[in-house]
Amino acid sequence: MKRIPSSRGAPPSPGAPLPPGVLRRKELRRQRRSERLRQLWRILVFSGMSVGLGYLLLRQGWTLREPNQVEVLGSAVVSRDQVIAAAGLRFPQPLMGLQPRLVASDLMGALPVEQVKVSRLMLPPRLRVELKDREAVARAVRRTDRGPEMGFVDGLGNWISIRQHMGIRSQGDLSLLVVGWNARHRAVLAQVLKEREVLGPGLKEIRFEPDGSLWLSTTQLGRVRLGPPDARLPRRLEVVAHLSRTLPATMKGARPQLIDLTDPEQPELSLGARGASGSAAWPAPPAPPAPRPAGAAAEAPRPAPAGTQ
């Protein structure tokens, strides 16, 4: 008897139709490949458009094309042309190519201003420069290789040349004189100028000696030696303010010739009145009490030095 071969497991003939499950899987794979290609093209197209648009905005849209796009605020003496010249701006100027900190530094060094703030604005594109004018508060003298140079200082202790002073405002009558100005003294000078009203209306001179010691000259106290401008300077200024309020009335018109506050807790006065001269100690105002640890016993009061009031 002739055996008929079984068709189980045999490959389908080339002309036989595929099962429905196989066709469905092939169609899904084809659709996924098409979707990936479409997404890839979308990404490429949108990336190219973004790069092109960004380039156009940076090179063409966010560009300073004329001086009117530079805003200058807060100054009564500095013009837009001066700001443009000091910052070295050339038109057209890409806005994103400007670094606000560098522009502010250039303006601080070239213009008579105390503060500069620079910001970039995008819509519409413009550069905003906010200035605070310097105000001369005192006359000043500094030592140079060519001899003494006259000038002025502002409230922060910055030097103002005579040429710069022609275009700025002055505060008060400029009766105060700063002698021996140096760049390293700016912070100390600003601290003294800040306490000017507290020190009394008779402050006439602030002097920095070549060795670094600081002197004051007032109509009420005469010459006051503050010593080195170290961490004890605030205490010394506090003692000067105290003496300016109490000393003239107590000494009954005998104005001191010299006050040494190198040690602010033991001021030394050199007196001169009616042709007589001498020295005396004067009590300093009490220093602020140091913080006491919790639970510590109160310290017994110390007896006052002999001769103090």
- Residues 6 or more apart whose Cβ sits within 8 Å of residue 126: 64, 69, 70, 71
Q: Which residue did the predictor score with more confidence, 51 or 79?
A: 79
For the chain, the distance separating the N- and C-terminal CA atoms, rounded to the nearest angstrom, is 145
Q: Dump pLDDT digits (tens) for 162-217.
A: 887 776 666 667 889 999 999 999 999 999 999 988 887 789 999 999 988 999 99
Rounded Cα gap, residues 152 and 164, in angstroms: 9
Q: What pLDDT is recorded for position 21?
A: 76
Centre a 10 Å sphere on the Cβ of residue 67 and count the other Cβ atoms it contains.
Answer: 12
* Residue 297 pLDDT exceeds 80: no
What value does the mean pLDDT take over residues 91-109? 90
Rounded Cα gap, residues 126 and 69, in angstroms: 5
The pair of three-digit structure tokens given for residue 44, joined into one six-digit string: 């490429």
* Residue 300 pLDDT exceeds 70: no
DSSP the chain: -PPPPP-TTPPPPTTSPPPHHHHHHHHHHHHHHHHHHHHHHHHHHHHHHHHHHHHHIIIIISEE-SGGGEEEES-SS--HHHHHHHHT--SSEEGGG--HHHHHHHHHHHSSEEEEEEEEETTTTEEEEEEEE-EEEEEEEEEETTEEEEEEEETT--EE-HHHHTTSEE-TT---EEEEE-GGGHHHHHHHHHTHHHH-TTEEEEEE-TTS-EEEEETTTEEEEEES-STTHHHHHHHHHHHHHHHHHHTTT--EEEEE-SSTTS-EEEEEETTEEEEEE-PPPPPPPPPPPTTPPPPPPPPPPTT--
What value does the mean pLDDT take over residues 1-22? 60
* Residue 256 pLDDT exceeds 90: no
Rounded Cα gap, residues 63 and 56, in angstroms: 10
Cβ–Cβ under 8 Å, residues 114 and 133: yes
What residue has token string 């890839």?
Answer: 40
Q: Give the closest residue to 64 by CA, choosing from 103, 101, 112.
A: 103
Q: Which residue did the predictor score with more confidence, 145 or 9?
A: 145
Q: Dump pLDDT digits (tens) for 117-155.
A: 999 998 888 999 999 888 888 999 999 999 999 999 988
Q: How far is CA 157 from the centre of its chain?
A: 14
Which bin fits 284, alpha (ψ -120 to 50), beta or left (φ > 0)? beta
Reported as a pLDDT band with limits 50, 70 and 90, residue 59 is low
Give me the chain's average pLDDT, please: 79
Q: What pLDDT is recorded for position 148?
A: 93
Q: What is the largest CA-CA distance in the chain?
A: 160
